[in-house]
Each structure stands twice: as C-alpha cells, then as structure tokens.
Structure 1
C-alpha cells in the first residue's frame, strides 16, 4: 500500500519555463494530477516535496486542488534540505513559495542550518527516499538535470528493496497536450 510519495522533477529554467503562465505548466500539472489520482487509489496519504521551484511547487498546487475536490485525507509536507532555501530567490518566487508553505500540512528542514555545502542536498535525497514508498519524478534521462541525483538515490533503494519509481516524461506531456488539443477541437 502506497502511503507516502515524493514528488520532484525539473526546475522551471531546466526546461525553458520562465513564467508560471507558460502553456506547458497546466499540462505538467495535469500529468502530476493523473499520477496522484492513481496513487490515491492505492492508499496515498502524504506527498512530500522539498519546496524547489518548478515541478515541486506545481505538485503542491495539484495537491491543494485535490484537497478542494474532496481528497481531504491527502496531506502535503514541505521538507527543505536546509533553512531559508528561498533567500536568494526573486520576490515573485518567494511569494509563490510562501503561499505554498501557508497551506502545507507539515513543514520542516532536514538540516536545521542555512545552506553550507552540497551534502545537504544528498542528505535530503537520502531522507526522502528512506521515508517514502514511491518517487514520482518528472524526468527524462535523455535530458539530464537536477532530478538525476534523487533518481540515483531512489534506484539504490530499489536495488535493495521494493521501492517504486514512477516517471512523467516529455513524451507523456506530449500525449496529454495532444489529447487536450483534440478535446478543444471538438468543443
């Protein structure tokens, strides 16, 4: 039974998205929602993110939408790798992040210090994989980026025990986008 899912993936700039009203964002969120609905059927109770811009904050918005749609037992935890990760972000991104934190069910940090070194990200990846049943990752190995490190950690756990890794790929997004275009052309 899947109770805890980690959701992560590309940061917006890694996939050429520079505004939250980019037409790709609703498609990415739809792909996340489809996966979450499947996981909810399997008993999903918690979604954990680290609060990174992009995939993770879009996933948080999807969780909030699902809560409004009646999935009241679904909860969101934002567990950052270190304190004050948003300090260097642009003001608009800080506001977006803070609006997510304001609605989250649980907030904490793996390392209770500000950023020091990359080990804090490794520790966060290990913690996330250890505390979850499934990783939902917006990632394509043909387009490497920051999700690679979490994926590698999840693969190590998968080799030792039953650990599920689910992907959202660019092909998945293309299929969803085409389905949405087909629907729109029939309306």
Structure 2
C-alpha cells in the first residue's frame, strides 16, 4: 500500500474566493496531473485534510479521477480534531460536508474539539506516519499556513525514507502558460 499526503495553501492565501476563478482552473489541472502521476506510480491512497484550498480541491479532483481509475485508488480525508470547520460560515461548512461525502474514508485524529496546538502537531505526526510521501502546492518564498506542514515534513525526512514533491509558484505559472497555450491552440 502506498499513501500520498497532499496539502498546501489555503484558498484565501492564493486569493481564490470563487469556484470560477481562472487560478482555480490551473490549480486543478496541476492537481489532476499530480494525482494521475501518483496513481500511475503505484500510490493507492490519496490522503488530505479538510482545509479550504488545496486540500478540498484535492478531494474534488481525485473524486473526478475515480471515473478514469475506478479501482486503482481511494481517497481519505483526515481532520485534526472533532468539530473541525464548525466555526466556518454555512457555505464553507457545506463545502466541507460535500468533500467529506466524496472521500472513501473520513475520520479525525483527535476525538476532542480543538483545545491546544498540540492537536495540530499530533495531526502532522499522524499524517507523516501513515503516508509514504507528500506533495505540497506551496512556495517557501511565500509563506502561509502550509509552512508548519512543510517544516514537519522536512524534519521527518531527516530520519525517514520519505519523499516530498513541491509545486511552487514557478510551477504554477508554467502550468498557467501551458494551459493558456492549449486554450489558444484549440481555437485555431
């Protein structure tokens, strides 16, 4: 069994506030390529959290890929504590419920509501110990909340055989350029 943890920026850190944002189209193309490559490399679990942004988009894209790879992989959504997302507005809570419904497996690491930052560190430790590698859409030059996961992964890699695939802003810009070029070519 090979399991890949996918995480990265929150939607607001990328300035994506609408499902029709052109940036989201490119991000989903990048996620589709990433997940497809992982599946074809033998990963059979895509594991992520429930944060708005890369994590929820990962589940949406992976769910769409189920039609192409019906039995090759499963999707897991892990949250750090119970009542995760309860403080969000109703629209965002509904989005979380929608992606939870698309996952093959959903659970929490802590069986208590949020009480302390240690629950977040325990979540990172759980994710690291229950995956074989990670992929992040994250740029160390432009820090965000993902910096904590990046640091935990980087520290874990020092003593463990664990791979990290980074997709930074240069990679996203290259993907946007390719996407735009493909769109222009389809109109000719």
Deviation at 1:72, TM superposition (A): 2.6
TM-score, normalising length: structure 1: 0.95
Displacement after TM superposition at 1:42 (Å): 1.6
In structure 2, what is the equivalent of residue 6 of structure 1? 5
- Corresponding residue of 2:90: 91
Uncovered stretches (5+) of structure 1, i.e. residues with no partner: none
Task: Tell me the equivalent position of 1:43.
Answer: 42
User: Does the CA-based 8 Å contact 1:6-1:134 persist in structure 2?
Assistant: yes
Contact 1:63/1:74 (<8 A) preserved: no
Segments of 5+ residues of structure 2 without an aligned counterpart are none
Q: What corresponds to 1:141 in structure 2?
A: 140
Shift of 1:29: 1.1
Query: Residue in 2 aligned with 1:23?
Result: 22
Residue 73 (structure 1) shift: 2.6
Q: Tell me if structure 2 keeps the 8 A contact 1:46–1:75.
A: yes
SS in 2 for 1:141: coil
Question: Number of paired residues?
Answer: 186
CA distance in 2, matches of 1:184, 1:21: 16
CA–CA distance in structure 1, aligned partners of residues 22 and 90 of structure 2: 22
For residues 41 and 18 of structure 1, what CA distance do their matches in structure 2 show?
32
Q: Deviations over 1:74-121 (max 9, x none)?
A: 111111000011111111111111011112111111110011111111
- The equivalent residue for 2:65 is 66
Partner of 1:130: 129
Matched, 1:166 2:165: yes
